[in-house]
Amino acid sequence: MKIAVCETMAGVGNTLVNRLQYEGCEVVCVEQKDMMLGVAHLQQFFCDADAVINLCGDKMLRRWNYRQKERIYNSRIENTRLIVRAVNGMKQPPSLFITFTMTNIYDEIEVHDEFSQNFATDFLGDMCRLWEHEIFRIKPEIRFCILRSGYILSRNEGLFPKAVRLCKWGFSLKTGKGKQPVPFIHIDDMLNVVMSCINNPNMTGIYNLVAPQIVTNAELSAILLKTLKRMAVFRIGSPVLRLFLSEAAAVVKSGQFVLPQRLLADGFEFMYPTLKEGLKNLVKD
């Protein structure tokens, strides 16, 4: 099976490519520089591919300004639009299109399964809806899976190593009252979901890419500190977050209550259904 992976971001993208190759897939990596060369150039990568996986998206946990917000927006929406145009324009397109989006599409009030229509109306919520609108432009004969992802817990990339470093320095991860939810999924479960999408032709549409356990920011902090056998001496206050992240601080100080209803209904078995199990695995070495 030949699979094109668009924007193989360091860490998660590289880990996914390694897993696909381990499973015997031929993987073609499409980088940002290739995106800039247009539809016809992309179609060369997609030629004879069975599936396209879209990981496009600039990092969000950095200080936001107008240019950074523009990069966050364009790296997702414009690149996805380009990929869909390329796939739709092929005489023999790939039969499967998988795109990672974000749980930030949901509001911070309700508990959300994949059928929820209670969407956020902030910058990220609006962006996610426009992002998924581009995915729905895919030809009807092409199967698609939208994976609305929470934080992917990986030993080497993303939230986890930063959180571990802070805890080892004596900081609590609790921000504000700590009641905001933190949707998460262990990277091994994420990889298994992607493989399920590839191998199960009945999987189609929107899936919440999160573990079944709902945890709060305060619970995340407490469980990680306990797992690391550390005590918190300091707290990261809201003014510090705003100083380093500006508007992006809202991403850390808010969250969504999200359940993987469709994955559970399809019989998907999580290796790490709880935060405690996932963190224990990641810190065991």
Q: Measured between alpha carbons, how far is 141 from 50 in angstroms, rounded to an integer? A: 13
Domains, the chain, with CATH or none: 2-217+246-283 (3.40.50.720)
Query: Cβ of 271: how many Cβ atoms within 10 Å?
Result: 13
Task: Give the dihedral of Cα atoms 223, 227, 228, 234; nearest 10 deg.
Answer: 20
Question: Could you tell me what percent of the chain has a pLDDT over 90?
Answer: 63
Per-residue confidence (pLDDT) for residue 239, from 0 to 100: 61
- Identity at 122, one-letter amino acid code: D
198 within 8 A of 3, measured Cβ to Cβ: yes
pLDDT at 214 over 80: yes
Query: What's the CA gap between 108 and 252, in Å, rounded?
Result: 12
Alpha-carbon gap, residue 122 to 126, rounded angstroms: 6
The per-residue pLDDT of the chain, averaged, comes to 88
Q: What is the DSSP string of 77-102?
A: HHHHHHHHHHHHT-SS--SEEEEEEE
At residue 89, does pLDDT exceed 80?
yes
Strand order in the sheet with 2-6: 26-30, 2-6, 51-54, 96-102, 143-149, 205-209
pLDDT of res. 248: 47
Burial of 261 (0-12, 13-18, 19+ CB in 10 A): middle
Structure token digits, residue 115: 């059928």
Tokens of 145: 């899976």
pTM of the entire structure?
0.91
Give residue for tokens 């974000």: 102
pLDDT digits (tens, 9 = 90+) for 41-56: 999 999 999 999 999 8
CA torsion angle for 73, 118, 115, 127 (degrees, to 10)?
0
Ranges 158-162, 188-192, 243-247, 278-282: which has the least confidence:
243-247
Positive/negative CA dihedral, 59, 70, 208, 180 = positive
Answer for the pair 148, 103: CB distance below 8 angstroms, yes or no: yes
% of the chain with per-residue pLDDT over 70: 90
**pLDDT above 60: residue 249:** no
Residue 156's pLDDT band (boundaries 50, 70, 90)? confident
Q: What distance in Å separates the CA atoms of residue 174 and residue 217, rounded to the nearest whole number?
A: 6
Query: Rounded mean pLDDT of 92-110?
Result: 95
